[in-house]
Structures are given as structure tokens and as C-alpha cells.
């Protein structure tokens, strides 16, 4: 975990951080320009801006600021189409799970503000060292007076009030620094960053989403959810049972039977979220899944990034799935337009590229057994996207809700690849291929 730093909660303090970052980038430009001139080169502005040191400056400062600054980085890393500079892509990727924890004194102050002056009386023991830190808050382990082990999710001070201004300031910085290509329209992502952050900063809503998931799962013994403790929860604190399973990646050392069973459970859960419930936990972080070897259950954590998808969207996604697997090109185009991958006036070469992309994504459904660990589908899909954007000079970002599904399914694909899973994907998809979702 990164070294702890006191989070600046005032608007002036956070703007000053961005100001220092802009100054650092400018200094880096001057230094790179001087080096290039000394070598006899006449550098372009982009050459001076897109240096490894400037990319590190941006990534480090966004990680330190957390909140909206960090979320913009996460969203940009979610669907950059490999058009960002490699150094910046690497730093943005790091933002998915890297943040600087609060100092102990700030933790105590935040808990006092949320739970009252006597907050410590509810606990037999409280661990001030966080077990996780991310963009919105950090997680602490504690023991209640009755000996029960709980996890407290504690929001960083000032995050909610800083969301809109932070997003706008970071967007200005990225545009000014030209670290994001001009052809990428940031506005939909920026508005989504604001909306998503306001949702994630609402711990009452996260508790509700967790309860909703429990209702949907019912008595399904394959999964376990933490129980919310309402009397120790507030707008900026969420207290839940502590689940002590092993990291989901620990299954790489398990038998193929156990790995494939867990992988099938993960895939079926994602399909139920999208097509049955319309309630999707969109954060693909591996740390949100644990495996309890005693019971064989997958433990599910962190519902702050949960999104609701209306019936019309679920129906359109179902039509797209069926068209990609079993339909002709006309079916696939109609479904892609309904979801937002295509527009009625998109040029034919771009339309053909999207068809090829969706057909590639559907290949596992046609195999008796798909080996995630040996597949090159992800790379081939990236190649199609690169060709579309570089050769056609035309790109249509799908709706932000669909982008979050990319995030979900892309993270799941990486996890199943890590588990070296081999699954009958078509068989697992069959319940949703054989029925209408209207």
C-alpha cells in the first residue's frame, strides 16, 4: 500500500495540488526541450509533453488526490483503445487499486464526525492501519464488543463536496497537457465520472445495493455476502461483517475441477446480474472476490460501483447477445444500433468493423470448451478497435452504461484467464440464448 498522506479536503488545497502538477509538467517540458535541442533535435510540443516523467507526475498526483481525480483516471483507462501514451496508460491502470491511506489522526477525526464522540466504545478493538485504500475511501478491520469481526469502509473527508470541481479541474489539466488525444471526446466520460462518484459516495445507497443483491441471490449457497450493521453505518461509514476468505487468485493452485467450478459460478453470476436482475456490480477489481475454502463459496465485496440497468436496456443487450451468437449480419446491426455501438448513419467500413468485433467476442459460445488462459481473443479485439480508430478516423464510444459493462466483463475475462479456466461457454449462455428478455 502507498505511504499515507493527509488528504486535502478544502477546494483551495485540492486546486493547489493541480496547480503544482501543471507547474511540474511545464518544468518537465522545458527540461525535455532543452535535452532535445542539446542533441540537435527540434522537438514537437507533443514530444516534450508525452514524457515518462510527465506521465508519472499525472498518475502520482491523481493517486494522491483520490476521489474524482482518481476516478477520471480509472475511466480513461477503461476504454482508451490503446491510443493513450504507454507511460500514461500504465499510470492510469495503476489507479484502479492504488491510493494513499489517511494518517491515523485523520481517521479518528473522520470516525468521530460520522459516529459520534464515543465511537470507540462500540469496539473491543479497532485497527487504525487500513487493509485497503481506493479512490473514495479506505477499509479498516475491527472487533465489536461481542467479538464479531467487522470491516468499516471509511470515506475520505471532503470527497463528496469536491467531486464536480475535481472532475472539471482534472479534465482541464488533461486537455491542456495534451496527454489525452484530441479525437477522444471526454465529455460523456466526465459527466459519468461525476454521476458515478456521487453514487459511490452515498454509503446508504451502497448498503441498499448490498441488501438487494442478497435478495436476488436468495439461498444460493455458491455465494456469500457480508451483512450490513446499520447502527454503525452513516453517510460516510459503512460497517459490514468481515469476510475472511482467500484472494480469488489463490485458486490458481487448486485442481482444474475446483478452478473451473469457481469460474463457472463467476460467469453465471455476471450473466444473472446483466440479464436477470439488471443490477450489476461493475468494479472488476480482483480484490472484490474472495474464496472460502471451507465452504467452497465465493465471497462478494464492495457494491459502491453497482449500476441499475432498465428492462429496455436488458432486452436490447439480450438481443445483441443472440444476434452475435446465432443471428445474421442484419440482425447484428439492428441490435448494435439499439444498444448504441452503431448509429444509423455510421459509414459502412466502420459498421463492418463493429460486426467483426462483436463476432470475435462471441467466438467462445461456438466452442465445446473455451480455454481462457490460452485465448488471444482480447488481443484480436484490441487490434480491431485500433484499426477502426486509426484507419477509419471514426469512433463512436458506446453509452457510458455499456462502457461499464465492458469494464465488468473485461475484468471477468482477465480473472478467468488468471484462473486458467476452461468452460463450456455456449452451454452456460444457453438459458439466455433460448428466451426473450422483454
- State whether 255 and 347 are in the same domain: yes
The better pLDDT of the pair 14, 123 is held by 123
Number of structural domains in the chain: 3
Residue 50 in domain: yes
Angle ∠(156,20,139) on CA atoms, nearest 5:
15
- State whether 237 and 252 are in the same domain: no
How far is residue 9 CA from its own chain's centroid? 24
Q: Percent of the chain, pLDDT > 90?
A: 50
pLDDT grade for 32, boundaries at 50, 70 and 90: very low
Q: What is the mean pLDDT of residues 384-400?
A: 71
The better pLDDT of the pair 378, 94 is held by 378
Q: What is the pLDDT of residues 272-315, one digit of tens each?
A: 999 999 999 998 788 899 999 999 999 999 998 899 999 999 99
- State whether 114 and 182 are in the same domain: no
C-alpha cell read off for 127: 485497527
pLDDT at 336: 95
pLDDT at 364 over 50: yes
- State whether 216 and 329 are in the same domain: no
End-to-end CA distance of the chain: 46
- State whether 132 and 253 are in the same domain: no
Please check whether residue 242 is in contact with residue 226, taking contact to mean a CB–CB distance below 8 angstroms: yes
Residue 430 in domain: yes
Among the listed residues 337, 294, 331, 338, the one whose alpha carbon sits nearest the alpha carbon of residue 312: 338
Domain assignment of residue 356, given as a range: 246-438
pLDDT at 181 over 70: no
pLDDT at 280: 96
Angle ∠(307,313,318) on CA atoms, nearest 5:
110
Residue 195 in domain: no
- State whether 265 and 345 are in the same domain: yes
pLDDT grade for 393, boundaries at 50, 70 and 90: low
C-alpha cell read off for 326: 446465432
CA 393, CA 412: separation in Å to the nearest integer?
30
pLDDT at 194 over 70: yes
Among the listed residues 311, 268, 306, the one whose alpha carbon sits nearest the alpha carbon of residue 288: 306
* Model confidence, pTM: 0.79
Mean pLDDT, all residues of the chain: 80
pLDDT at 145: 96
pLDDT at 429 over 70: yes
Task: Look at the chain and count its residues.
Answer: 438
CA 130, CA 136: separation in Å to the nearest integer?
13
- State whether 232 and 250 are in the same domain: no
- State whether 371 and 259 are in the same domain: yes
pLDDT at 252 over 60: yes
CA 397, CA 121: separation in Å to the nearest integer?
51
Q: What is the mean pLDDT of residues 407-411?
A: 87
Q: What is the CB neighbour count within 10 angstroms for residue 354? A: 21
Q: Which residues, other chains included, contact 90 with Cβ-Cβ below 8 Å and sequence gap of 6+?
A: 55, 59
Give the three-state DSSP class for 6: coil
Examine the residue annotation and report whether 283 is marked as an active-site residue of this protein: yes
pLDDT grade for 241, boundaries at 50, 70 and 90: very high
pLDDT grade for 160, boundaries at 50, 70 and 90: confident
- State whether 83 and 111 are in the same domain: no
CA 165, CA 156: separation in Å to the nearest integer?
16
Give the three-state DSSP class for 138: strand
pLDDT at 55 over 50: yes
- State whether 393 and 286 are in the same domain: yes
- State whether 230 and 309 are in the same domain: no
CATH number (domain holding residue 116) = 3.30.200
CA 160, CA 23: separation in Å to the nearest integer?
26
pLDDT at 259 over 70: yes
pLDDT at 229 over 60: yes
Q: What is the mean pLDDT of residues 107-120?
A: 93
Residue 410 in domain: yes
Residue 359 in domain: yes
CA 186, CA 48: separation in Å to the nearest integer?
23
The β-bridge relationship of strands 297-300 and 223-224 is: parallel
Residue 1 in domain: no
Among the listed residues 144, 138, 174, 153, the one whose alpha carbon sits nearest the alpha carbon of residue 66: 138
In eight-state DSSP terms, residue 180 is S
Residue 329 in domain: yes
- Of the ranges 2-6, 66-70, 376-380, which one carries the lowest mean pLDDT score? 2-6
List Cα–Cα distances, 299 to 123, 288, 413, in angstroms.
Answer: 24, 8, 18
CA 1, CA 6: separation in Å to the nearest integer?
15
Q: What is the mean pLDDT of residues 370-375?
A: 93
Which of 3-12, 154-163, 212-221 reaches the highest mean pLDDT?
212-221
List Cα–Cα distances, 131 to 4, 139, 274, 291, 377, in angstroms.
Answer: 13, 6, 30, 17, 35
pLDDT grade for 44, boundaries at 50, 70 and 90: very low
- State whether 51 and 68 are in the same domain: yes
Radius of gyration of the chain from its Cα atoms, rounded to whole angstroms? 23
For cell 455499456, the residue is 402
Please check whether residue 80 is in contact with residue 86, taking contact to mean a CB–CB distance below 8 angstroms: no
C-alpha cell read off for 3: 505511504
C-alpha cell read off for 324: 452475435
- Choosing from 79, 98, 283, 346, the catalytic residue is 283
pLDDT at 22 over 90: no
Residue 234 in domain: yes
pLDDT at 437: 42
The better pLDDT of the pair 313, 100 is held by 313
Angle ∠(30,52,92) on CA atoms, nearest 5:
125
pLDDT at 74 over 90: no
pLDDT at 159: 79
C-alpha cell read off for 317: 443487450
Q: What is the mean pLDDT of residues 158-166?
A: 80
pLDDT at 17 over 50: no
In eight-state DSSP terms, residue 275 is I
pLDDT at 406 over 70: yes
Bridge partners for 133 per DSSP = 138
The β-bridge relationship of strands 289-292 and 370-371 is: unpaired
Amino acid at each position: 500500500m502507498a505511504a499515507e498522506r493527509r488528504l486535502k479536503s478544502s477546494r483551495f488545497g485540492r486546486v493547489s495540488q493541480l496547480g503544482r502538477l501543471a507547474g511540474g509538467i511545464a518544468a518537465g517540458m522545458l527540461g525535455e526541450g532543452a535535452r532535445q535541442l542539446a542533441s540537435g533535435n527540434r522537438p514537437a510540443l507533443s514530444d516534450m509533453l508525452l514524457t515518462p516523467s510527465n506521465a508519472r507526475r499525472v498518475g502520482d498526483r491523481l493517486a494522491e488526490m483520490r476521489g474524482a481525480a482518481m476516478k477520471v483516471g480509472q475511466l480513461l483507462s477503461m476504454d482508451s483503445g490503446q491510443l493513450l501514451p504507454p507511460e500514461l496508460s500504465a499510470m492510469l491502470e495503476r489507479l484502479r487499486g492504488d491510493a494513499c491511506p489517511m494518517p491515523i489522526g485523520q481517521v479518528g477525526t473522520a470516525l468521530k464526525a460520522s459516529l459520534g464522540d464515543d465511537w470507540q466504545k462500540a469496539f473491543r478493538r479497532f485497527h487504525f492501519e487500513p487493509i485497503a485504500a481506493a479512490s473514495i475511501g479506505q477499509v479498516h478491520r475491527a472487533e465489536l464488543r461481542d467479538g464479531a469481526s467487522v470491516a468499516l469502509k471509511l470515506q475520505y473527508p471532503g470527497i463528496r463536496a469536491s467531486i464536480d470541481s475535481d472532475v472539471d479541474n482534472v479534465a482541464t489539466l488533461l486537455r491542456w497537457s495534451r496527454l489525452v488525444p484530441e479525437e477522444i471526446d471526454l465529455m460523456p466520460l466526465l459527466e459519468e465520472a461525476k454521476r458515478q462518484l456521487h453514487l459511490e459516495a452515498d454509503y446508504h445507497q451502497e448498503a441498499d445495493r448490498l441488501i438487494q443483491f442478497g435478495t436476488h441471490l436468495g439461498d444460493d449457497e455458491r455465494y456469500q455476502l457480508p451483512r450490513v450493521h446499520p447502527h454503525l453505518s452513516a453517510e460516510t461509514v459503512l460497517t459490514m461483517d468481515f469476510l475472511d476468505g482467500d484472494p480469488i487468485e489463490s485458486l490458481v493452485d487448486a485442481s482444474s475441477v475446483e478452478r473451473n467450478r469457481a469460474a463457472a459460478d463467476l460467469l453465471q453470476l455476471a450473466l444473472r446480474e446483466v440479464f436477470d436482475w439488471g443490477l450489476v456490480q461493475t468494479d472488476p477489481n480482483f480484490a472484490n472476490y474472495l474464496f472460502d475454502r471451507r465452504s467452497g463459496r465465493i465471497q462478494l465485496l464492495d457494491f459502491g460501483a453497482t449500476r441499475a440497468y432498465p428492462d429496455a436496456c436488458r432486452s436490447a443487450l439480450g438481443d445483441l447477445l443472440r444476434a452475435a451468437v446465432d443471428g445474421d449480419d442484419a440482425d447484428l446491426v439492428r441490435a448494435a444500433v439499439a444498444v448504441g455501438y452503431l448509429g444509423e448513419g455510421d459509414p459502412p467500413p466502420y459498421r463492418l468493423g463493429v460486426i467483426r468485433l462483436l463476432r470475435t467476442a462471441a467466438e467462445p459460445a461456438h466452442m465445446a470448451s473455451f480455454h481462457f488462459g490460452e485465448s488471444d481473443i482480447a488481443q484480436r479485439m484490441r487490434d480491431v478497435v485500433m484499426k477502426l480508430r486509426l484507419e477509419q478516423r471514426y469512433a463512436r464510444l458506446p453509452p457510458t452504461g455499456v462502457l461499464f459493462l465492458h469494464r465488468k466483463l473485461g475484468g471477468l475475462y482477465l480473472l478467468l484467464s488468471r484462473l486458467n479456466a476452461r468452460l463450456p461457454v455456449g452451454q452456460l449462455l444457453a438459458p439466455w440464448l433460448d428466451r426473450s428478455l422483454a
